[in-house]
Structure 1
Amino acid sequence: MPRPSARPTIATIARDLGISPATVSYALNAKPGVSAATRDRVLAHAATVGWTPHSGARALRQGRSGNVGLVLARDPREVSHEPFFAALTAGIQSAASDAGRELLLRFVAGGAEEEMTVFRSWTEQRRVDGVLLLDLHIEDPRPALLAELGLPFVVLGAWEGSGPGVRLAGAEAADAATLVEHLRTTGRDACLQLTGPLVYEHEHRRTELVAGLCARAGIAHAAVSAPYTRSGGEEGLRRLPLDLGERPAVVASSDLLALGAQRALLADGRAVPGDVAVLSWDDSAIAENVDPPITALARRPYEQGQEAGSLLLGLLDGGATAGTVRRSAPSRLIVRASSVDPGAGPR
């Protein structure tokens, strides 16, 4: 019996069996010109030595790169401190790896215009088969460009356009209702919303949703925007009208914003939650392990990344059609000591 090769390839299988590499390739790829007996012999030996097709070569034959792309128009140092993006990206990578693909990640500093330059370059060089879009802007030009390029994409957020895209819709309406209901049931009379940059469509939507729900619940509302950083939370807190109600609550759009706001409150001698409650739209180890721990929405970013990646891969492999919309499940509010009176405990 031929000796199995340590690293089986078409060439080593051909050497083991004493036939040409072309014959082995024809047999493995079910092409004509090889007898049934030779094909069976090649397939049996390939199974014995553990040969598997080279994914890069297969992708090349199929006219595909084997990659999906993600461009983040953010400072990588800033993203490295954001648990949400770390978990989301890990989820996308997990979905890509499970399908035998790779995630190509690029950071840019120039916003949407530089991001679109990357998309044009990737398309021209056939570097990716599809891309993921995060942080949709107001009147975002990226989906239209991807449609023009014919590059399949998945949007995480609200997008109603046309083109070779699919969408993973968030649960902002349900999540906003969960947050405002918590304020109502804990007796808060003012909601001080600390949003991320209002260039992002989801921040406008969150602000409108919370403001409308507060109005119906008889809760005063005010909002300011700040960068998604701890210092942004500290600076934004200084601009919020803390005297808007007798028992106000700060609702921050990220865990880092919430952390910064809470630190600023404590530094000013205000008790949390006695004087001001603090809540975050994102949960993380940061929110759980500060003092007091911060009430937050468990939005499952890793699972969202997996869902988005799987949705894009379905579009690429024919399991989903352009225009498909999948909706994320509503988030669960993890109630901690930053929003309940001392002694009440988390639930």
Structure 2
Amino acid sequence: MPRKSSRPTVATIAHDLGISPATVSYALNDKPGVSAPLRERVLEHARAVGWTPHSGAQALRRGRSGNIGLVLVRDPEEVSREPFYSAVTAGIESATSARGYELLLRFVRGGPDEEIDVFRAWAHQRRVDGVVLLDLAEGDHRPAILESLALDFALIGHYVGPEDFVKVTTAESEDARTVVDHIVERGYDGCIQLTGPADFAHERRRLELLRRLCAGHGIPHTHASGSYTIDAGSRSFTQANRDLSARPAVIASSDLLALGALRAAADRGIDIPSELGIVSWDDSLIAEVTAPAITALSRRPFEMGRTAGDLLVQRIDAQVAGGTALQNPPATLVPRRSTGAA
């Protein structure tokens, strides 16, 4: 025999108060036909018994699924060690759940085409009401596909296109200037930039920004790219031209890349920070507790995700217009021992 649910419902409230379920529903949903004293009595009893709206029923009434989708084209095990993506995902979930939506997360390894297959399946099955896009590439065709599927979407990045979407941008120009100014102030005379995958638009922007800023300071610049992993950081540092200046600094696009470079430098007997500086574009507990601790940009990825999730739900609920864009505040540099800072 199935166990009886202890969750208070409209029917149980109606039974407790000796009134009809329709009257309880009208009172809870602030509809006409219920006197003010009776409405207050229903609301007070609902609070007392811990009644909450049923999200599934609400979604059905709205003609929606009540779900927000997020697809990560990454190895799940890799993401479990990547603080930035974990924080962004947590921020999205925090915002969407607060507004009564569930986050539907999917990992794929087949690249953007497999990601688009997931979007098509979700749209066909009406599994999600909107999605959040990450890691926009140059000439990315996902926005056009999502618009053709009539799915609302929010993206984190600087994409500009004709589609109807909302976005959260980052202060990349200011952040790049903060990092380069820091290494110059600490006496480093060259820049070894380690980026993530070269097809990501944000990595191309960072590369161009740092090249230009280094040229402005009259210091040489070189770069290497790889995935956002410790091993890739070690390989990229090994492959990069480390003799471009007397005392260069590594600027890595993630904490894991920075940690990989730090380990590779230590294996070669390179002293940090006297011979080589290291800065991460993303701060995390990893950057804080490694030895030496890594100077990093605190970009608040949780807030970035939360803003994107909240903006998407507002778009779905027609509370903001398509084209709305919010900027994440410029990052704060956290100086640590990897650049000789306290």
Structure 1 length normalisation: TM-score? 0.91
More deviation, 250-259/5-14 = 5-14
More deviation, 285-294/11-20 = 11-20
Aligned 8 A contact 2:26 2:34 in 1? no
Amino acid of the structure 1 residue aligned with 2:45: T
Deviation at 1:22, TM superposition (A): 5.0
Match of 1:249, SS state, is strand
The Cα RMSD (Å) is 2.0
Which string of whole-angstrom CA distances, capped at 9 and with x for unpartnered residues, describes residues 161-220 of structure 1? 122311111111111111111122122211010111101111111001100111111010
Looking at structure 2, the residues matched to 176 and 10 of structure 1 have their Cα atoms a distance apart, in angstroms, of: 55
Q: Give the % identical residues.
A: 53
Tell me which stretches of 4 or more aligned residues in structure 1 moved more than 3 Å.
13-32, 39-43, 49-52
Which string of whole-angstrom CA distances, capped at 9 and with x for unpartnered residues, describes residues 83-104 of structure 1? 1111111111111122122111
Amino acid of the structure 1 residue aligned with 2:286: I
Unaligned stretches of 5+ residues in structure 2: none
User: 1:155 is matched with which residue?
Assistant: 155
User: 1:48 is matched with which residue?
Assistant: 45
More deviation, 139-148/45-54 = 45-54
Looking at structure 2, the residues matched to 227 and 114 of structure 1 have their Cα atoms a distance apart, in angstroms, of: 19
Deviation at 1:318, TM superposition (A): 2.6
Looking at structure 2, the residues matched to 118 and 208 of structure 1 have their Cα atoms a distance apart, in angstroms, of: 33
Aligned 8 A contact 1:166 1:324 in 2? yes
User: 2:226 is matched with which residue?
Assistant: 226
Deviation at 1:25, TM superposition (A): 4.3
Unaligned stretches of 5+ residues in structure 1: none
Amino acid of the structure 1 residue aligned with 2:166: V
Deviation at 1:273, TM superposition (A): 1.1
Match of 1:64, SS state, is coil
Deviation at 1:19, TM superposition (A): 5.6
Match of 2:222, SS state, is strand
Matched, 1:62 2:62: yes
User: 1:104 is matched with which residue?
Assistant: 104
Amino acid of the structure 1 residue aligned with 2:225: S
Looking at structure 1, the residues matched to 272 and 292 of structure 2 have their Cα atoms a distance apart, in angstroms, of: 7
User: 2:271 is matched with which residue?
Assistant: 271
User: 1:282 is matched with which residue?
Assistant: 282
Which string of whole-angstrom CA distances, capped at 9 and with x for unpartnered residues, describes residues 17-71 of structure 1? 5565456546655678xx656x964763353143443121011111111111111
User: 1:9 is matched with which residue?
Assistant: 9
| 1:308-347 correspondence to structure 2 within 5 Å | 308-340=308-340, 345-346=341-342
More deviation, 12-21/309-318 = 12-21
Aligned 8 A contact 1:162 1:323 in 2? no
Looking at structure 1, the residues matched to 325 and 298 of structure 2 have their Cα atoms a distance apart, in angstroms, of: 22
Aligned 8 A contact 2:129 2:152 in 1? yes
Deviation at 1:275, TM superposition (A): 1.2
Match of 1:338, SS state, is helix
Matched, 1:164 2:161: no
Aligned 8 A contact 1:28 1:43 in 2? no
Aligned 8 A contact 2:24 2:42 in 1? no
Looking at structure 1, the residues matched to 28 and 284 of structure 2 have their Cα atoms a distance apart, in angstroms, of: 49
User: 1:210 is matched with which residue?
Assistant: 210
Match of 2:291, SS state, is coil
Which string of whole-angstrom CA distances, capped at 9 and with x for unpartnered residues, describes residues 69-126 of structure 1? 1110000000000111111111111111221221111111111111111111111111
Looking at structure 2, the residues matched to 26 and 293 of structure 1 have their Cα atoms a distance apart, in angstroms, of: 59
Match of 1:184, SS state, is helix
Match of 2:338, SS state, is coil
User: 2:84 is matched with which residue?
Assistant: 84
- In structure 2, the CA distance between the partners of 1:6 and 1:211, relative to structure 1 (3 Å rule), is same
Looking at structure 1, the residues matched to 289 and 259 of structure 2 have their Cα atoms a distance apart, in angstroms, of: 11
Aligned 8 A contact 1:10 1:25 in 2? yes
- In structure 2, the CA distance between the partners of 1:43 and 1:292, relative to structure 1 (3 Å rule), is same
Looking at structure 1, the residues matched to 250 and 39 of structure 2 have their Cα atoms a distance apart, in angstroms, of: 68
